[in-house]
């Protein structure tokens, strides 16, 4: 024992050492990539938001909160917040309502349930860009399948509308961008159609956890379907509804592919939501400082929502 040669001991100890540090080596690649691709750009964006780029030399000059001041005084920013708010309200209400209805239908197990679950989920695997094109093709001027419907003057007075080109009606209250352009409403429907499967599945999973015995005994005690939904099902699925709502808001704020392919931000700036504004400031107008400030604002909104979701869903950590 005591005379074991160092040459023979070393490989053994080396392996022992490797086994003990194994967790570190397993974690390293993931942490490195996340640090490089998520952490560093986030910090760099914050740094950039305090700088102004000198036009000639491309040098960064520290300008404090100037970018934020510029952002909040830009009319475009205020307008796109208005668009985003209208979009989010419509999108969440539509998606939540239909998701609850469809999930309630799917919970009743009938012969077509398995088939329906599969079919209903097809839109979810389609890309934003494709969904945008698919819905755009419905309303392209003149030749779209729904174009005659929207162009009908008796349905849409006074002259009928063309979804992609009709500008928003005059605002009721100055400074509040309401009512929205037809294109924004159409965008809401297209986005809700795409996200519906995901929200439906979330709610369906929650509905499955509502015990049948409770519903049955409530029915035996004379509760109507509406009452048992209101007083048994709804309270039980409320946490999941909240998670679903935050998922919707997050996706709604950040989805941009559909705006690109469906309306391109237009007509005019009628469908410029925050995410599209970020593109048009940062990549079309190349105003990096301003775009970085907008990124920071959006990241703060996102982080708040994520942390709220985490707090509300309370993932069970240890087992």
Residues between 63 and 122 that touch other proteins (CB under 8 A): 102, 105-122
CA separation for the pair 204, 105 (Å, rounded): 9
Q: Which of residues 251-290 bind other proteins (CB under 8 A)?
A: 254, 256-257, 260-261, 275, 278-279, 282-283, 288
Q: Of the listed pieces 5-13, 66-74, 139-147, 161-169, which binds other proteins according to CB under 8 A?
A: 139-147
Q: Which stretch binds other proteins (CB under 8 A): 41-49, 65-73, 88-96, 173-181?
A: 41-49
| CB of residue 86 to other proteins, shortest distance in Å | 20
Query: Which residues are registered as beta bridge partners of 61?
Result: 52
Q: CB of 162 within 8 A of CB of 155?
A: no
By the rule CB under 8 A, 155 interacts with other proteins: no
Question: Least Å distance between CB 171 and other proteins?
Answer: 28
Smallest separation, CB 73 to other proteins (Å): 20
Residue with tokens 């993932």: 315
Interaction of residue 218 with other proteins, rule CB under 8 A: no
* Residue 186 Ramachandran class (φ > 0 left, ψ -120 to 50 alpha, else beta): alpha
Using the minimum distance from each CB to other proteins, give the nearer residue, 78 or 312.
312
Tell me which of 176, 205, 214, 238 binds other proteins, using CB under 8 A.
Answer: 205
Distance from C-alpha of 119 to C-alpha of 114, rounded to nearest angstrom:
9
> Applying CB under 8 A, which of residues 9, 61, 176, 306 lies at the interface with other proteins?
306
Distance separating alpha carbons of residues 306 and 298, to the nearest angstrom? 12
Q: Residue 171 or 216: which CB sits closer to other proteins?
A: 216
Based on the shown chain and the rule CB under 8 A, indicate whether residue 128 belongs to the binding site for other proteins.
yes
Q: Does residue number 30 form part of the binding site for other proteins (CB under 8 A)?
A: yes
Q: Rule CB under 8 A: say whether 137 interacts with other proteins.
A: yes
Q: Does 62 bind other proteins (CB under 8 A)?
A: no
CA distance 54 to 294: 19
Q: Is 238 in the site for other proteins (CB under 8 A)?
A: no
By CB under 8 A, name the one of 80, 147, 191, 271 that touches other proteins: 147
Looking at the DSSP assignment, which residues form a beta bridge with residue 94? none
Give the residue carrying structure tokens 């979701």: 309
Pick between residue 81 and residue 256 the one whose CB is nearest to other proteins. Answer: 256
Going by C-alpha positions, the residue among 134, 105, 101, 135 that lies closest to residue 117 is: 105
Query: CB atoms < 10 A from the CB of 129, how many?
Result: 14
What count of residues does the chain have? Answer: 319
We find the least distance from the C-beta atom of residue 184 to other proteins, in angstroms, to be 19
* CB-CB neighbours of 139 under 10 Å: 25
User: 68 or 288: whose CB is closer to other proteins?
Assistant: 288
Peptide bond into 267 cis (omega under 30): yes
Residue written as token pair 């400030």 = 293
- Which residue in the set 9, 10, 12, 33 belongs to the binding site for other proteins (CB under 8 A)? 33
């Amino acid at each position: 024992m005591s005379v074991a040669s160092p040459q023979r001991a070393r490989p053994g100890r080396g392996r022992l050492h490797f086994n003990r540090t194994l967790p570190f080596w397993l974690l390293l690649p993931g942490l490195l990539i996340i640090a490089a691709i998520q952490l560093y750009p986030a910090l760099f964006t914050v740094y950039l938001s305090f700088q102004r780029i000198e036009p000639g030399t491309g040098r960064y000059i520290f300008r404090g909160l100037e970018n934020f001041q510029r952002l909040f005084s830009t009319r475009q920013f205020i307008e796109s917040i208005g668009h985003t708010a209208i979009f989010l309200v419509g999108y969440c209400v539509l998606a939540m309502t239909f998701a609850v209805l469809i999930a309630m239908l799917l919970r009743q197990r009938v012969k077509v349930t398995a088939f329906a679950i599969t079919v209903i989920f097809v839109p979810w695997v389609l890309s934003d860009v494709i969904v945008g094109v698919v819905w755009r093709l419905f309303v392209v001027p003149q030749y779209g399948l729904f174009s005659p419907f929207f162009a009908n003057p008796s349905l849409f007075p006074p002259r009928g509308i063309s979804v992609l080109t009709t500008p928003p009606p005059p605002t009721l209250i100055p400074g509040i961008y309401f009512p929205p352009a037809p294109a924004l409403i159409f965008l809401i429907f297209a986005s809700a159609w795409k996200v519906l499967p995901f929200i439906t599945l979330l709610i369906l999973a929650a509905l499955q956890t509502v015990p049948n015995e409770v519903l049955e005994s409530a029915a035996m005690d004379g509760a109507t379907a509406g009452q048992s939904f209101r007083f048994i099902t709804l309270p039980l699925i409320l946490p999941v509804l909240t998670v679903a709502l935050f998922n919707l808001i997050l996706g709604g704020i950040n989805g941009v592919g559909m705006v690109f392919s469906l309306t391109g931000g237009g007509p005019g700036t009628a469908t410029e939501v925050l995410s599209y504004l970020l593109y048009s400031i940062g990549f079309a107008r190349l105003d990096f400082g301003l775009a970085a400030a907008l990124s920071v604002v959006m990241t703060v909104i996102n982080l708040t929502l994520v942390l709220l979701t985490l707090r509300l869903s309370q993932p069970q950590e240890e087992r």
